Amino acid sequence: MKTRMWLLAGAAIAMAFAYGCKPKGAQSTISGDAASKVYVPPGQYDEFYNIISGGFNGQMSVVGLPSGRVFKILPVFSVHPENGYGFSEETKPMLNTANGFVPWDDLHHIAISTTNAEHDARWAFGNANNTPRIARVDLTTFKTVEIIEIPNSAGNHSSPFITENTEYVVAGTRFSVPTGTDENRDVPISTYKENFKGHISFISVDPQTGEMDLSFQIEAPPFNFDLARAGKKKSHGWFFFSTYNTEMAHTLLEVNASQKDKDYIMAVNWKKAEEYIKQGKGKKQSVKYAHNVWDEHTHTGVSTIKNEVLVLDPKEMKDIVYFIPCPKSPHGTDTDPTGEYIIGSGKLAAIIPVFSFTKMLNAIENEDFEGTLQGMPVLKYESVLHGEVQKPGLGPLHTEFDGKGFAYTSMFVSSEIVKWNIETLEVVDRVPTFYSVGHLMIPGGPTGKPHGKYMVAYNKITKDRYLPTGPELAHSAQLYDISGEKMQLILDFPTIGEPHYAEAFPASLIMDKQVKFYKMEENNHPRALKGINDARVERDGNKVHIYLTSIRSNFRPDNIEGVRVGDEVYFHMTNLEQDWDVPHGLAVKGANTAELLVMPGETATLKWVPDRVGIFPFYCTDFCSALHQEMQGYIRVSPA
């Protein structure tokens, strides 16, 4: 009966979309005390930081939970006028790639660093899908401090997923592509099976500095790698990747990619792979990728192009890669807080399969295989299966956990979240989402220690939830109270860009570790000034270096002459403030393609090549004091 009802509800929502009318009963799940649960009184703080991916907007946003308030938009694979990211000479190298400056990307997933499978929240990692990259954000400054490009990859969707001590950030390629030299890559698309390859990249993370390094790659069959999760606790040392198009079709028109009943979860024994690498079994391959690091001493991005990667061929090693059959195009694959259960979400499947790590190990030990795939063992579905969740809903995508023995799976098609018992596989509750939920998130949900108090649904379709704003609407997120037996919707809040995955962690982990300003004596930027008396203009050939200071409430120098059309003009602005929350900005009328926002104690550079004669005003863009509007100057550009 219940089953029929949700089927009907799903159909009703689908029909409502098709005909553009407002679904009935949308608000019916709100109960009276919802407001008090999300109300954070003025002057008080939220309990959790929620770091949300920005999708095709390329940023991350920082939101408080339970209030849903946005604190920051954090540019990663995007340029951001607000703080000059991607505009200042110092930040441009962060967006460099082997093929030059790429100031846009599609950021889908967040991974917050962990120690012993618990959030330590030192760093947030994010992926770029289009030009495969992984970024690291420092959570004491909320700045992008590193971006590494990933060679042998296209459509870096299956990342960034991390191991329980952040030993590795892992990235699987969505698109298999021909790799190697130009000659090898210029092949007919129809030779997909022979010439295309999938790669899984293991990027190590330095436990002290966080710096990433492309350690090695594992070659894989030309599937599409969709998502992944690391094992944890008992399954630490393993990684699980969801795959689709295991038919290895080069066109997914019609039903090519979903012909088969089952695709695979690819289980990777990365500890073993690591051993083989140590034994020198990796083969060196020529590639080209950028590695961009933010130098903390000079506050400047340094981009290096690297030329080599170590590749392991698992066909030669037999005990690194195993395939677990999983029904129809699995999307998410998630591991529960104990590390015992691996949940696959076949987007087109009518059940949710739950696999047992213990059973998987037994099956491997007993060589209980149903065959091989390109020489690698395929395990028997039944021998790895813990059980199936029956009739969960339609279109299962992602699963999170509350640490109390329950799993929560998002159902895209039937537009709901389903709560089920991991041991008994019984569905115990379901709530509608408005509408078509993609990822869902419980604070600490992917770790060994979830905080099972709130859950957020990041929905793909908004329709009637907010005041309409033309054809495009803010993607809706919804907050649920999951502290009780029944999930309860308590808040809608809009998001920035198109959120996919997000993570949240207790604010107490980082709120007292925030950098409030940079100490002047630690500013080692080569163009930094130590005081207002150092302000000056220097010419060096056709380059003009303007050493500018900003402090409430003036610039020095504020009248600049001697610049000629065609000169390369550099404004090196040092913000001399030594106080929290007092950035100064810089905008120059002629140099209207860039703006700076310089943090206290920091130096940043705006480049301008004037193309016309004139007097050009400049001013501070950030309201910094009562005399902010007086913070201004002129630059005179004379004929060449």
- When CB distances are held under 5 to 8 angstroms depending on the partner's kind, the choice from ligand CUA, ligand CUK, none that residue 620 binds is ligand CUA
- When CB distances are held under 5 to 8 angstroms depending on the partner's kind, the choice from ligand CUK, ligand CUA, none that residue 397 binds is ligand CUK
> Whole-number minimum distance, CB 245 to ligand CUK, in Å?
16
Extract the tokens encoding 210.
């966080």
Q: Any bridge partners for residue 390, and if so which?
A: 351
Sites for ligand CUK among residues 428-487 (CB under 6 A): 438-439
> Whole-number minimum distance, CB 631 to ligand CUA, in Å?
4
- Phi and psi torsions of 595, nearest 5°: -135, 150
Determine which residue in the list 145, 148, 569, 631 makes contact with ligand CUA, applying CB under 6 A: 631
For residues 525 and 599, the answer to whether their CB atoms sit within 8 Å is no
> Whole-number minimum distance, CB 58 to ligand CUA, in Å?
28
> Whole-number minimum distance, CB 541 to ligand CUA, in Å?
31
- When CB distances are held under 5 to 8 angstroms depending on the partner's kind, the choice from ligand CUK, ligand CUA, none that residue 312 binds is none
* Cβ distance to ligand CUK smaller for residue 155 or 633: 155
Element spanning 91, H or E: none
> Whole-number minimum distance, CB 258 to ligand CUK, in Å?
17
Residue nearest to ligand CUK (CB): 438
* Cβ distance to ligand CUA smaller for residue 267 or 631: 631
Sites for ligand CUA among residues 538-577 (CB under 6 A): 550
> Which residues, in sequence order, are CB contacts of 74 under 8 Å at separation 6+?
59, 60, 61, 62, 137, 142, 143, 144
* Cβ distance to ligand CUK smaller for residue 399 or 574: 399
> Which residues, in sequence order, are CB contacts of 473 under 8 Å at separation 6+?
462, 463, 465, 466
Sites for ligand CUA among residues 198-217 (CB under 6 A): none
174: contact with ligand CUK by CB under 6 A: no
> Whole-number minimum distance, CB 556 to ligand CUA, in Å?
13
Residue 615, Cβ neighbours under 10 Å: how many?
12
Residue 302, Cβ neighbours under 10 Å: how many?
14
347: contact with ligand CUK by CB under 6 A: no
* Cβ distance to ligand CUK smaller for residue 463 or 500: 500
Distances (CA, A) of 118 to 121, 176, 212, 455, 506: 9, 33, 20, 18, 11
Sites for ligand CUK among residues 498-517 (CB under 6 A): 500-501
SS3 369: strand
Q: Judged by CB under 6 A, how many residues of this single chain contact ligand CUK? A: 11
> Whole-number minimum distance, CB 587 to ligand CUA, in Å?
11
Asked whether the bond before 151 is cis by omega within 30 degrees of 0, the reply is no
CA dihedral 583, 587, 591, 596 (to 10 degrees): 10
In this structure, which amino acid lies at residue 367? Answer: E
- When CB distances are held under 5 to 8 angstroms depending on the partner's kind, the choice from ligand CUA, ligand CUK, none that residue 584 binds is ligand CUA
In this structure, which amino acid lies at residue 174? Answer: R
> Whole-number minimum distance, CB 417 to ligand CUK, in Å?
13
Beta strand segments in 277-358, E: 283-295, 300-312, 321-327, 330-335, 341-346, 351-356
- When CB distances are held under 5 to 8 angstroms depending on the partner's kind, the choice from ligand CUA, ligand CUK, none that residue 453 binds is none
Extract the tokens encoding 425.
């596989």
Of residues 584, 571, 603, 516, the one with CA closest to residue 295: 603
> Whole-number minimum distance, CB 141 to ligand CUA, in Å?
20
Of residues 284, 287, 298, 134, the one with CA closest to residue 202: 134
Distances (CA, A) of 215 to 117, 203, 204: 21, 5, 6
- When CB distances are held under 5 to 8 angstroms depending on the partner's kind, the choice from ligand CUK, ligand CUA, none that residue 490 binds is none
Sites for ligand CUA among residues 474-533 (CB under 6 A): none
> Whole-number minimum distance, CB 331 to ligand CUK, in Å?
6
Q: Judged by CB under 6 A, how many residues of this single chain contact ligand CUA? A: 8
Determine which residue in the list 92, 119, 157, 556 makes contact with ligand CUK, applying CB under 6 A: 157
Asked whether the bond before 547 is cis by omega within 30 degrees of 0, the reply is no
Identify the residue whose tokens are 């060589």. 367
Sites for ligand CUA among residues 611-630 (CB under 6 A): 620, 622-624, 628
Determine which residue in the list 53, 339, 584, 599 makes contact with ligand CUA, applying CB under 6 A: 584
229: contact with ligand CUK by CB under 6 A: no
β-strand 300-312 against 212-220: which pairing, if any?
Answer: parallel
> Whole-number minimum distance, CB 133 to ligand CUK, in Å?
15
SS3 216: strand
Summary count for the chain: helices (H), strands (E): 8, 44
Site string for ligand CUA, 592-611 (x = CB under 6 A): --------------------
d(CA 564, CA 566): 6
* Cβ distance to ligand CUA smaller for residue 324 or 620: 620
- When CB distances are held under 5 to 8 angstroms depending on the partner's kind, the choice from ligand CUA, ligand CUK, none that residue 272 binds is none
* Cβ distance to ligand CUA smaller for residue 360 or 604: 604
220: contact with ligand CUK by CB under 6 A: no
For the chain, give the number of residues. 640
- Phi and psi torsions of 255, nearest 5°: -110, 20
Site string for ligand CUK, 377-416 (x = CB under 6 A): --------------------xx------------------
* Cβ distance to ligand CUA smaller for residue 187 or 627: 627
* Cβ distance to ligand CUK smaller for residue 398 or 572: 398
- Phi and psi torsions of 50, nearest 5°: -120, 115
SS3 46: coil
SS3 264: strand
Cβ-in-10-Å burial (0-12, 13-18, 19+) of 165 comes to: middle
- Which residues would be at the binding site for ligand CUK (CB under 6 A)? 108-109, 157, 227, 331, 397-398, 438-439, 500-501
- Which residues would be at the binding site for ligand CUA (CB under 6 A)? 550, 584, 620, 622-624, 628, 631
